[in-house]
A and B are shown apart, each in its own frame.
Chain A
Amino acid sequence: MIVQLIIRRLAISLVILLAISVLVFGATLLLPGDPALAILGQQATPERIQALHEQMHLDDPAWSRYLSWLGGLFTGDLGTSVASGQPVAELVGERARASVVLMIAAALISVPAGIALGIWSALRRGRTVDSAITGISLVLAALPEFVIGIALVALFATTVFSILPAVTMAPPGTQPWDFPAQLILPIAVLVLVVTPYIARMMRATMLEVLDSGYVEMARLKGVPERRVILRHALPHAIGPVAQVVAIQLAWMAGGVVVVEYLFRYPGLGQALIDAVNYRDVQVVQAVTMIVAVIYIVVNLLADIVGILANPKLRTGGDR
Chain B
Amino acid sequence: MSRARSAEATLTPTGAPMVDGSAWHEQVAAGGDVLEIEDLRIATTAGGREVVRGVDLHLRQGELLALVGESGSGKTTVGLATLGHFRSGLTHAGGSVTIHPSNTTAPALMTALGEESLRRLRGSRVSYIPQDPALSLNPAMRVGEQIGEVLEIHEFGSSEAERIERVRSVLREVGLPDDDAYRRRWPHQLSGGQQQRIGIAMAFAMYPDVLVLDEPTTGLDVSTQAVVLETIREMTVTNRVAALYITHDLAVVAEIADRVAVMLQGELVEEGPTDEVLRAPRHRYTRTLLAAVPDLAGRNRIGEFEARRRAVEAAEADAARTSDPDSGPAAARGEDRPVAAPAPAAAPGDPLIAVRDVSLSYGEKQVLSSVDLTLRAGECTLLLGESGSGKTTLSRSIAGLLDHWSGSISYQGTELAPSTRRRSLAQRQDIQYVFQSPFSSLNPRRTLGQSLAVPLEMSGDLSAAERTQRVREALDAVRLGRAFIDRRPGDLSGGERQRAAIARALVNMPRVLICDEITSALDVSVQASIIDLLTRLREERGLSMLFVTHNIALARHVAERVAVLDHGVIVDDGPTDQVLTAPSNTYTEELLANIPSL
Contact = CB atoms under 8 A, between A and B. Distances in A.
A312 B190 CA distance: 12
Interface residues of B, number: 32
B136 A217 contact: yes
A264 interface: no
A310 interface: yes
A220 B122 contact: yes
A222 interface: yes
A236 B136 contact: no
Contacts of A72: none
B128 interface: yes
B44 to A, nearest CB: 16
Interface stretch (A35-43, A89-97, A130-138, A208-216): A208-216
A223 interface: yes
Interface string A298-319: 0000000000011110010111
Interface string A113-153: 00000000000000000000000000000000000000000
Interface in A206-258: 212-214, 216-225, 227, 231-232, 235-236
Contacts of B119: 222-224
B188 A312 contact: yes
Interface stretch (B137-145, B393-401, B491-499): B137-145
Contacts of A213: 130, 132, 135-136
B186 A216 contact: no
A212 B187 CA distance: 15
A217 B87 CA distance: 12
B51 to A, nearest CB: 18
Interface stretch (B148-156, B250-258, B295-303, B340-348): B148-156
A312 B124 contact: no
B150 A217 contact: no
Contacts of A312: 139, 186, 188
B329 interface: no
B563 interface: no
A231 B190 CA distance: 21
A235 B139 CA distance: 10
Nearest to B119: A222
Contact of B130 (A217, A232, A236, A318): A217
B363 to A, nearest CB: 11
B290 interface: no
B120 interface: yes
Contacts of A235: 140
B85 A219 contact: yes
B97 interface: no
B150 A221 contact: yes
A95 B199 CA distance: 57
A218 B188 CA distance: 18
Provide the main secondary structure of the chain A interface: helix
Given A221-B153, A222-B121, A222-B150, A309 B138 contact: no
| Most chain B CB atoms below 10 A, which of A217, A224, A319 | A217
A20 B150 CA distance: 52
A221 B140 contact: no
B153 A214 contact: no
Contacts of A232: 138, 141
Contacts of B124: 222
B290 to A, nearest CB: 31
A318 B186 CA distance: 10
B327 interface: no
Interface in B77-122: 80, 83, 85, 87, 115, 119-122
A232 B149 CA distance: 11
A292 to B, nearest CB: 33
A220 B186 contact: no
B375 interface: no
Contacts of B150: 221-222
Given A224-B153, A236-B139, A311-B140, A319 B128 contact: no
A312 B128 CA distance: 26
Interface string B187-231: 011110000000000100000000000000000000000000000
Contacts of A221: 122-123, 127-128, 149-150, 153, 202
Interface string A69-105: 0000000000000000000000000000000000000
Contact of B149 (A216, A223, A310, A315): A223
A214 B135 contact: yes
B153 A223 contact: yes
A8 B80 CA distance: 46
Contacts of A227: 153
B188 A222 contact: no
A131 B123 CA distance: 34
Nearest to A218: B138
Contacts of B139: 214, 236, 310-312
| Most chain B CB atoms below 10 A, which of A220, A224, A310, A318 | A220
Given A217-B130, A315-B186, A319-B189, A222 B120 contact: yes
A214 B132 CA distance: 10
Contacts of B132: 213
Contact of B140 (A217, A223, A310): A310
A145 B154 CA distance: 51
Interface in B167-194: 186, 188-191
Contact of A219 (B122, B137, B186, B188): B122
Nearest to A315: B186
Nearest to A223: B153
A222 B130 contact: no
Nearest to B128: A220
Contact of A311 (B136, B188, B202): B188
Contacts of A212: 135
Interface string A254-267: 00000000000000
Contacts of A224: 119, 153
Contacts of B149: 221, 223
Contacts of B189: 315, 318-319
Contacts of A225: 115
Interface of A: 212-214, 216-225, 227, 231-232, 235-236, 309-312, 315, 317-319
**Which 3 A-B residue pairings sit nearest by Cβ, starting from the closest?**
A213-B135, A221-B123, A222-B123
17 contacts: A212-B135, A213-B130, A214-B135, A219-B85, A220-B80, A220-B83, A220-B128, A221-B150, A221-B153, A222-B122, A222-B154, A223-B153, A232-B138, A311-B140, A315-B186, A315-B189, A318-B189
Interface of B: 80, 83, 85, 87, 115, 119-124, 127-128, 130, 132, 135-141, 149-150, 153-154, 186, 188-191, 202
Given A216-B130, A221-B123, 10 more contacts: A213-B132, A213-B135, A218-B138, A220-B80, A220-B128, A221-B149, A236-B139, A312-B186, A312-B188, A315-B189
